[in-house]
């Protein structure tokens, strides 16, 4: 009887531990060349590709992690000058919103001076018939510009996790 009770207790404890294992395994990440820090919810991967932002060709480095179909990503690139970096913010927003056929439900734009600008959006749309949500922070500092986004199925984006990711982004 004691052996069965012990085996049952061990099995129950293992089940509880498995149930407690976090989907979100937050880890700090510092970009080696784009001068930012952020906390990702899983191990990120990094790649660079050339993109067109309203006629401006740039090499954008993307670092991203995925949890339950939700993508948490930071993109960074450099424009020829600060004015084009600020213009890139709107171009990135438009392209991302268009990708999911979304409507922006919330937008906040600030320009502190000629050297720094930010845009924050929340957008809803569909991709292949699935309701999607995009939450993004776009920022320029000097010639550098960044996109910090969370994109996924509407139900797969817990507000707490989205907030944690977006607020962890810091420029160095």
Question: Taking the model in full, what pTM does it have?
Answer: 0.85
Residue of 140, 103, 147 whose CA lies nearest to 125:
103
Residue 8 domain-assigned (yes or no): no
Residue 130 domain-assigned (yes or no): yes
State the Cα–Cα distance between residues 167 and 162, nearest whole angstrom: 9
Residue 84 domain-assigned (yes or no): yes
Residue 162 domain-assigned (yes or no): yes
User: Looking at the 3D structure of the chain, how many domains does it have?
Assistant: 1
Asked if 147 and 38 count as a contact pair (C-beta separation under 8 A), the reply is: no
Q: Find the farthest-apart pair of alpha carbons in the chain and give their distance in angstroms, rounded.
A: 76
Chain length of the chain: 172
Residue of 159, 148, 171, 165 whose CA lies nearest to 41:
165
Residue 35 domain-assigned (yes or no): yes
Residue 77 domain-assigned (yes or no): yes
pLDDT score, position 22 = 64
Say which residues have a Cβ less than 8 Å from residue 60's Cβ, sequence separation at least 6.
48, 49, 50, 51, 75, 76, 77
pLDDT score, position 14 = 40
Bridge partners of 107, per DSSP, are 121
pLDDT score, position 113 = 74
State the Cα–Cα distance between residues 16 and 10, nearest whole angstrom: 10
Residue 41 domain-assigned (yes or no): yes
Q: What is the CATH number of the domain that holds 38?
A: 3.40.1000.10
**Structural domain span for residue 114:** 24-171
Residue 40 domain-assigned (yes or no): yes
pLDDT score, position 162 = 97
Taking only the tens of pLDDT, the chain with its 172 residues reads 444 434 444 444 444 334 444 689 999 999 998 899 999 999 999 999 999 999 999 999 999 999 999 999 999 999 999 999 999 999 999 999 998 899 999 999 998 876 899 999 999 998 889 999 999 999 999 999 999 999 999 988 999 999 999 999 999 8
pLDDT score, position 5 = 39
Q: At CA 100, angle to CA 99 and CA 106, rounded to 5?
A: 105
pLDDT score, position 60 = 98
Say which residues have a Cβ less than 8 Å from residue 146's Cβ, sequence separation at least 6.
34, 36, 74, 75, 76, 137, 138, 139, 140, 169, 171
Ramachandran class of 155: left when φ > 0, alpha when ψ lies in -120 to 50, beta otherwise: alpha
Asked if 41 and 65 count as a contact pair (C-beta separation under 8 A), the reply is: yes
State the Cα–Cα distance between residues 72 and 148, nearest whole angstrom: 8
């Amino acid at each position: 009887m004691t052996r069965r009770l012990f085996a049952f207790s061990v099995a129950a404890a293992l089940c509880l531990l498995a149930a407690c294992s976090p989907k979100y395994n937050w880890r700090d990440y510092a970009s080696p060349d784009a001068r930012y820090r952020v906390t990702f919810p899983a191990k990120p991967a990094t790649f660079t590709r050339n993109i067109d932002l309203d006629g401006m060709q740039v090499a954008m480095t993307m670092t991203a992690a995925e949890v339950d179909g939700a993508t948490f990503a930071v993109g960074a690139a450099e424009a020829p000058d600060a004015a084009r970096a600020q213009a890139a913010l709107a171009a990135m927003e438009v392209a991302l919103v268009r990708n999911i056929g979304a409507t922006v439900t919330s937008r906040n734009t600030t320009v502190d001076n000629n050297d720094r600008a930010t845009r924050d959006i929340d957008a809803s749309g569909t991709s292949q018939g699935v309701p999607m949500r995009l939450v993004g922070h776009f920022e320029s500092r000097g010639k550098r510009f960044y996109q910090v986004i969370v994109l996924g199925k509407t139900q797969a984006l817990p507000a707490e996790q989205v907030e944690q990711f977006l607020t962890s982004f810091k420029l160095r």
